[in-house]
Amino acid sequence: MPFFLPPEFDQLLNYIRQTVLLKLVFCLLLDLFGVASFLLPGFGELADISYAPVQAYLLYRLFNNSFRIAALGFAEEILPGTDVLPTATLAWVLENTSLLPEQLNLLLGVIRNASSARRNQ
């Protein structure tokens, strides 16, 4: 855990990770915040540079320390014109549904929840 985050933040992230619907809401908020920079021309790019490592860290923590999904989230925020991609929500869908091919889970390092995989069969 980075030195600047209080232990309570780590506990909050663990709680969010374990609550499926709360995690979905949090992922939607992450994506919404990322896209909000489009509304502020000029300032948006500066915000993206600041937000990219934050989103990458949160994705890393939320999705079982998946470096790949964190790297995708970082790239999505740092590259121009890619803010509209809902990386966090896509990761949640990969983890909790079988709507997308299993190969995408393997590629991005997102482990599908066993309970959701059984439910969707």
Please give the pLDDT value at position 121: 45
Please give the pLDDT value at position 120: 45
Of residues 104 and 70, more confidently modeled: 70
39 in helix, strand or coil?
helix
Q: With bands split at pLDDT 50, 70 and 90, how would you rate the model's confidence at 70?
A: very high
pTM: 0.83
Q: Is the CB of residue 87 less than 8 Å from the CB of residue 59?
A: yes
The answer to whether the Cα torsion of 43, 49, 55, 58 is positive or negative is negative
Of residues 41 and 21, more confidently modeled: 21
Q: Who contacts 111 (Cβ-Cβ below 8 Å, separation ≥6)?
A: 63, 64, 66, 95, 105
Q: Is the CB of residue 110 less than 8 Å from the CB of residue 70?
A: no
Q: Who contacts 9 (Cβ-Cβ below 8 Å, separation ≥6)?
A: none
- pLDDT 10s digits, 4-40: 667 788 889 989 999 999 999 999 999 998 888 777 7
